[in-house]
Structure 1
Amino acid sequence: MATDSFVSDGAHSGRRSLVWPYAILLGFAGLLVLLQSLPLVLPIGAMYWDALIYYDAIGRIAQGQHPVIDFFVPVGPLEYYLAALSNALFPEAQPVLLTQWIWVPVTFPVMALILWDVSARGMKPALGLLLPFLLVTALPFNVIDFYPYPGTDAFGIYNRHGAHLIYLVAATVLFVRSPVIQTIVLSVVLMSAAFCKITAFLAAGPILLFALLLGRIRILTAVATAVICIVVAGAIELVTGMVSLYVRDIIVLATENTGALLPRFLTAASQHFNVLGAGGLLACVLLIAALAHQPAAEARDEGNRLVRILDADWFWVGLLLACGLFYETQNTGSHAFIMVWPALLAILLKPTAGYGRFAIPILALVAFTAAPDISTMLHKAARTAAVAPGYVRVDAPDLGPIGQASVKDVFAEQAERKRQIYIEHRDTYEAIAETEALPSFLQFSDHDYQFMLLEDMQGAAAAVKRLEESRGRRFETVLNLDFANPFPFILDMKGSYHVAIGADPYRALPPMTEKTFEAVAQTDLVLAPVCPVLHSRKLLTAHYAEALAGHEKIELTPCFDAYLRRAAP
């Protein structure tokens, strides 16, 4: 029961099957363009500041800087170039929507090529691949709840992008038959995955390896794809030097994230046990069904029998689950297991009679494998849409689209109460930070914290403009001693060269170099948020302390300190 033996519902319809899939794809693309053209306000979700990292890069790119070359990035540089392009096209787009959809200019044409090949064998496989892909592309929600209250998910957006690219790899391997289309699609997707998130590229590796070994990808196709990728990467390296620098940054990140792989596997497996449990059981039942239906003649041909046993539904379900689990260890909660859907679709497209007495258990397990993630996203989307009209918008006119966010009124009130406590009892939070504890275990997921962060950024932005007026001085460069630094975008300034964006001092803060030291020392304005004082913020301040020795420290606002570079005489 090889995976490619699905039933065609319209083999004689030819390219007429393309009409509906293409119409849906184009219509959906038009809808995304419309939604990004409107200044929509959406509810804040856990870790909204993950979207702000992109605006740090957008602001820097607008000022002539380049990811990897001029500043350290936690994931691939193409993430940020696409974000800058989207912001140029849709300057009023809501940040979560903009960042969720930055890969559409790549993924939709790739999906169109896949549809061109697949639709020749019927409408069902074409729509079966297209509709789930559009759903996960459209909805800015993770499949894990990081907070009990509804809101859009900005956490790990880049992980969702990588998962969508791996989905295209799985769809190509299992459904595309044209060597030319396979070569084009795999070349585009693999280069995209490498420059999106390197772990997406690595997770796709076993899929491609077994596809080659089992004959789903021809050797010539594999060689052509490899040559294209090497030539493109080589050209980028010759022109920009970016590839070698990117590899260096990957090594730095890998060095800072060693020793935690097994706990991450356990965490990812426990969080997604609903999918992994059902999917693993499905693979086992499929294997039993495959062995039970092996003809006696095939049993005498051991080589052929081995290939048939491996190139079967049970193997692809199991392999895609394993690749999804590996990918999910890098940032839990994303769309990793959507890559299993092409294998599930192949099962659904076959006559159930081929599974004999195992048909009903197999169909039930397919449903249990596919349903949890999709139902979770739809549920979160419905909750968020229902409550959004009654939420309180952030009052932050200087933040531009970054301020197009809202929270439940109780969180807005909570933010105001907490801010006063943070200001009046700063020493208490200094003491908490010294213990390396957080004021709240869910500090960065708390909606009131993310809301307050935006309001405090608004206060800081307004205060910087007043400071420039009072001192008659224009600040040219800015750095924020926090995880996210959208101030280059907000204030239309250059960000400090050679510093990390998405500066997590525990995972993504490279060692101080001479270039970084000089860049920070020459930065005109360094901001330090203190509402509240946090251990991570203290670590960042300590990391750059020597470079800031020549700066003047002032209280910019009650929630922001500032370090001003002393002007040359």
Structure 2
Amino acid sequence: MTLVRDIAEYRREENQGGPTMSMNSIEIDDARGRPALLWLYPVLIGFAVALIVLQTVPLFVPIGPMNWDVLIYYDAIGRIGQGQWPAIDFFAPVGPLEYFLAAFSNWLFADAQPVFLTQWIWLPVTVPVMALILWDVAAGGRGKLAFWLLAPWMLFTLLPFNGISFYPYPGTDGFGIYNRHGAHLIYLVAVSVLFVRGPVIQTVVLSVLVLSLAFCKITAFLAAGPILLFGLALGRIRIATAITTALICVGVTGVAELSTGLVVPYVQDIIVLASQNTDALLPRFLTAASMHFNVFGAGGLLAVVLLIAAVSGNAAAGGRRGGSPLARLIDADWFWVGLLLVCGLFYETQNTGSQAFLMVWPALLAILMRPKAGYGRYQAVILVLIGFTVVPNVSSVMHKAARAIAVAPGYVRLDAPDLGPLGLFSVKDVFAERAERMRGIYISHRDTFEAIAETEALPSFLLYSDPDYQYLLLEEMQAAVSAIRSYELRTKRRFERVLNLDFANPFPYLLNRKGAEYVAIGADPSRAVPKLDDKTRDAVAQTDLVLLPTCPVQHARNVLLEHYATALTEHQRITLTPCFDAYILPAAR
């Protein structure tokens, strides 16, 4: 109770304009106040307009590791276009708002490059939120601070690359797009908690962000939870703001459930996914920490140094000059740096390879914007550690972007007219040649890959990251679409529903048909495919075209075939193309 009273006391001191040194009291760097918006808003608006323009141009980009994550969105886009809804009509690996925003963006920009479109689907939410944040921050005469909150958000929103590498060759990161979206939203939450002062703006911003996180990706929502809870406990979020935000979120969620029936199925899907992923949590903590040790290690050491500086009585590192020593110690630099690092690490346990540690930047910026003398003899080591915490992710993303831009003009473009925007990819000539060579081997030595699949191994441990594999995948989808249309013309029948027994199924989008109801999209059989129930079995049994890719035969594809086998007893198996088998429901049924 003493600590709570102390925190409340120095919060009152802040509101009364007393002498403080916290993150919410960054030294005023621009006495003009809101006039700073005269140059900040044009930057924000120009940024948004530039991204809109880029989505109107059919740009070819180098294909990257696990590019098929992009195809998941187009599976959902095709389904939503046919009236199906995530959670209600099909099982989705992330929140429904991800796919509704993707469908909306596709409606606006039907020919946009897929990586760009999916990277930027949250702009209708994040741009207004950032505009409100800039309004509030600049109102306190903190124009430079506002700009340096805006700049990293623009950089990481713009570039479709992750903070770590999964493959040595240049290419866009198709992997983990929804993970990057969650990281951007959590970043805005951290900024709102640490720097937004106006109760009305903070209420609006947090309401939008909390709802967005909940319906974007549940692990992002959970990762943001401690930031919000400690923001409330330490007085950075007023109790009235918290109550109002909670009421708004509950109210909107209730209206969504009553009007659409979406919320309860979504929660049920979350429970199913959680039950299939609980066993691997500790190993994923170790994996995330090891993969991001350059950032997490430097940031953790920074938090320790800041704590030592605070205990040593340095005014800046210790937070506020008012209140008890314990109160000053908690609401201080070390705490927020450490908390945001831990939240980022937790987020990475389920989303290894995203831009999660972007969320640490607001706490680091608060340190950089204050007089360094307040940190005493620790100022030099603090600045060095901030550099080591910031530079790896920024340099990695910018380096990947520079390499992709540099090599793109010389890459071989995919020739796939039936894929529409999904054909806007290119690859290095040696990978195009390798894709063609491997295709021949996959076809002529199918029994070899059957034997490999039986061992539950992949032909290559990095198969899904290989550019030639992702390139061949799109080439064979082009061949399959062409073969399906030829088959329909030849037999004078039209397939109404389609299912692809693979991780990604863009065929509902490509063929403008319905997808099989109630099945999982992003079908990773090890963690994202629910048990087959009667409803799903009946839906698959009524699906008149079920595709099975075979270049190469893979264990995961065989598992999916076995998973749905009881629903395919009436289907006839044919060779659609050398790399696709098809299960076709007889027309007389």
| TM-score, normalisation: structure 2 | 0.95
Q: Which residues of 2 match residues 492-507 of structure 1 at below 5 A?
A: 492-507=512-527
Residues 183-210 of structure 1 show CA distances to partners (whole Å, capped at 9, x for unaligned) of 0000000100000000111011100111
2:456 maps to a residue whose letter is: E
Question: In the alignment, is the contact (CA less than 8 A) between 1:59 and 1:489 conserved in 2?
Answer: yes
CA distance in 2, matches of 1:18, 1:308: 33
1:257 alignment counterpart: 277
Tell me the amino acid that sits aligned with residue 52 of structure 1: L
Which of 32, 39, 53 aligns to 1:13? It is 32
Partners of 2:220 and 2:324 in 1: CA distance: 32
Matched, 1:161 2:161: no
Question: Could you tell me which residue of structure 2 aligns to residue 323 of structure 1?
Answer: 343
Paired amino acid for 1:102: I
State the partner residue of 1:99.
Answer: 118
**Shift of the alpha carbon at 1:568?**
2.3
2:11 maps to none
Matched, 1:472 2:478: no
Q: CA deviation at 1:302?
A: 11
- RMSD in angstroms over aligned alpha carbons? 1.3
**Does 1:177 pair with 2:197?**
yes
Q: Is 2:104 the partner of 1:85?
A: yes
Matched, 1:343 2:349: no
8 Å Cα contact 1:554/1:562 also seen in 2: yes
How is 1:142-541 mapped onto 2 (pairs within 5 angstroms)? Answer: 142-293=162-313, 304-541=324-561
Offset, 1:303: 6.6
* Residue in structure 2 matched with residue 135 of structure 1 by the alignment: 155
Residue type of the alignment partner of 2:43: I
Where does the alignment leave 5 or more consecutive residues of structure 1 unmatched? Answer: none
Distance 1:57 1:22 in 2: 34
Matched letter for residue 494 of structure 1: K
1:135-159 CA deviation, whole Å, 9 max, x = no partner?
0000000111101100000101000
Aligned twin of 2:62:
43
Q: CA deviation at 1:294?
A: 6.1
Counterparts of 1:492 and 1:366 in 2: how far apart (Å)? Answer: 50
Tell me how far 1:305 sits from its aligned partner: 2.2
What is the CA deviation profile of residues 219-273 of structure 1, one whole-angstrom value per residue up to 9, with x for unaligned ones? 0000000000000001111111111111100000011112111110000000111
Give runs of ≥4 in structure 1 deviating > 4 Å.
none
Distance 1:148 1:312 in 2: 40
Offset of residue 292 of structure 1:
1.4
Q: Alignment partner of 1:450: what SS? A: helix
Structure 2 contact 314–374 (Cα < 8 Å) conserved: no
User: How far apart are 1:14 and its partner, in Å?
Assistant: 2.2
Number of positions where the alignment pairs a residue of Structure 1 with one of Structure 2: 565
Task: Find the aligned partners of 1:235 and 1:173 in 2 and give their Cα distance.
Answer: 27
Q: How far apart, CA to CA, are the structure 1 residues paired with 2:93 and 2:536?
A: 16
**Separation in structure 2 between the aligned mates of residue 308 and residue 21 of structure 1, nearest angstrom:** 33
Give distance in 1, aligned partners of 2:115 and 2:95.
18
CA distance in 1, matches of 2:54, 2:322: 56
Q: What is the aligned partner in structure 1 of residue 76 from structure 2? A: 57
Kindly provide the amino acid, as one letter, of the partner of residue 379 in structure 2.
Answer: A
Q: CA deviation at 1:5?
A: 2.5
Partner of residue 25 from structure 1, selected from 19, 40, 44: 44
Conserved? CA contact 2:79–2:85, under 8 Å: yes
- Give the match's secondary structure for 2:32: helix
SS of match in other structure, 2:547: strand
Q: Distance in 2 between matches of 1:522 and 1:155?
A: 32
Distance 2:322 2:22 in 1: 16
Cα distance in structure 2, aligned partners of 1:14 and 1:5? 14
- Once residues 415 and 237 of structure 1 are traced to their aligned partners in structure 2, the CA distance between those partners, rounded to angstroms, is 47
Give the one of 143, 152, 157 matched to 1:123.
143
Return the letter of the residue paired with 1:44: I
Q: Decide whether the 8 Å contact of 1:101 with 1:137 is kept in 2.
A: yes
Q: Does structure 1 conserve the Cα–Cα contact (< 8 Å) formed by 2:314 and 2:375?
A: no
| Equivalent position amino acid for 1:319 in 2 | L
- Alignment partners' CA distance in 2, 1:302 and 1:148: 52
